[in-house]
Structure 1
């Protein structure tokens, strides 16, 4: 079956046009994406207001993600305009792939690459090993290269139906690589944190919180990517996968900022421990105060500092 026949078989008839599965997912995806962008704006402000001493590379990554997300939300909004306004009186126009949608693919890929690269770096800092971070980076590079190829083809193609058929394998490969990368990073990070749980008894509750937090932020991005794959492969005749894909970049960006800003929690916990240690030491005499302060300092400088102390690190 050639591309023309495939396009004909996949295209919807105007008489049978169903806005709820064509326009609806795009509208809903754009609304969710703008809400997530608002969360990203707040998180970015919180980050720069509280972590001015972070290494320049980390601050540059955050700034780059934020700038890319500005362009991303603009492209998603433009795609919504083409879907809900331009094609309002002629549903057949919905079969045309807008340039803003092609640009969205580009910005989604770049955001995913930046976030996954940073997570791979964090895994290396925590594990001090190269295999799993390298595997993650290889998957990230594969996804990034394939995304660039898809973007080029999207700018060349005018029909969504033809694009879906021609790029079926490439889109599946890019999304699968993203999912595998996210899962490897999430499970590996949780594993290495759990492994250190018994070595630092004073930080047990903090490590448990980090493990849960890592799983939550990592699996959310994986879940969204998996849903995009499922709906893309099973329901190409509607735009549900398009609506989900629209929020993928914002989910990635927010997961990065959530990881970085989460250090505020550990700052407050450490400050509370220091305050409690001072009160406890002052109540028991001079001899009890010094050992307690040493223990708290050891807690701050445990392997958890890979999450809590990014200042002056690459």
Structure 2
């Protein structure tokens, strides 16, 4: 039973949290447009496009995770050996998760460019984001032709490298955004400083959620 708690139990909790965050992010877009922020039209269109693309991938990711959880907890209930088998649903969910992360990271890198007017960090982030997305596709291709035990023994480095790219890009984005927001902090009025502080906290929170 302990092993089920560390495998199936962890998966169920993760799916519940992921599904909740799926609803939260959808509500964020609704609040954005309802409040009528005075952004430029192309910014609103960019946000709409990015959110629509990420929602499509996130919806597919959530559906595949639900199918995988149903397969383990209902279809093959009482057969714990199935947990050790790879299935195309969990592989596909990883692909969509990688694409979503890359889109979000690329947008944050764009915000770094807007604040800094320097391209070296955004370009580096965009390149690594592409590598990360490619890594998730490689995981799907490799895992589709092997068992979980074989993948863990021989190809686990692909997953590790992909996750390291994800964490590295999030740290770079968060650090750069916080720096470029904090740098002019002493030169703005006090009420504006409070807004900047909220933006810094929001940036760190968004980066942590991406990880």
Q: Please report how far the alpha carbon of residue 196 of structure 1 lies from its aligned counterpart in structure 2 after TM superposition.
A: 1.1
1:35 is aligned to 2:23: no
Which residue of 165, 171, 182 corresponds with 1:183?
Answer: 171
Which residue of 5, 20, 23 corresponds with 2:5?
Answer: 20
C-alpha distance in 2, partners of 1:43/1:60?
A: 15
Q: Please report how far the alpha carbon of residue 35 of structure 1 lies from its aligned counterpart in structure 2 after TM superposition.
A: 1.3
1:155 is aligned to 2:133: no
Q: Please report how far the alpha carbon of residue 109 of structure 1 lies from its aligned counterpart in structure 2 after TM superposition.
A: 0.5
Unaligned runs of 5+ in 1: 1-15, 223-314
Count of aligned residue pairs for this structure pair: 206
CA contact (8 A) 2:11 2:69 kept: yes
CA contact (8 A) 1:82 1:98 kept: no
Alignment of 1:54-69 (within 5 A): 54-69=43-58
Report which of the two structures shows the higher radius of gyration computed on alpha carbons.
Answer: 1
Unaligned runs of 5+ in 2: none
Q: Please report how far the alpha carbon of residue 47 of structure 1 lies from its aligned counterpart in structure 2 after TM superposition.
A: 3.2
CA contact (8 A) 1:109 1:147 kept: yes
- In the superposition, the TM-score normalised over structure 2's length comes to 0.89
Q: Which residue of 2 aligns with 1:46?
A: 31
Q: Please report how far the alpha carbon of residue 179 of structure 1 lies from its aligned counterpart in structure 2 after TM superposition.
A: 0.4
Q: Please report how far the alpha carbon of residue 39 of structure 1 lies from its aligned counterpart in structure 2 after TM superposition.
A: 1.4
Where 2:185 maps in the other structure, the secondary structure is coil
Q: Which residue of 1 aligns with 2:73?
A: 84
Q: 1:46-88 deviations in whole A, cap 9, x for unaligned?
A: 2344458444232111111111111111011011012112221
Q: Which residue of 1 aligns with 2:86?
A: 97
Q: Please report how far the alpha carbon of residue 154 of structure 1 lies from its aligned counterpart in structure 2 after TM superposition.
A: 2.4
Q: Please report how far the alpha carbon of residue 120 of structure 1 lies from its aligned counterpart in structure 2 after TM superposition.
A: 0.3
Q: Please report how far the alpha carbon of residue 105 of structure 1 lies from its aligned counterpart in structure 2 after TM superposition.
A: 0.8
> CA RMSD of the aligned region, Å?
1.9
Alignment of 1:1-314 (within 5 A): 18-50=3-35, 53=41, 54-157=43-146, 159-202=147-190, 203-222=192-211
C-alpha distance in 1, partners of 2:89/2:189?
A: 52
- In the superposition, the TM-score normalised over structure 1's length comes to 0.61
CA contact (8 A) 1:44 1:66 kept: no
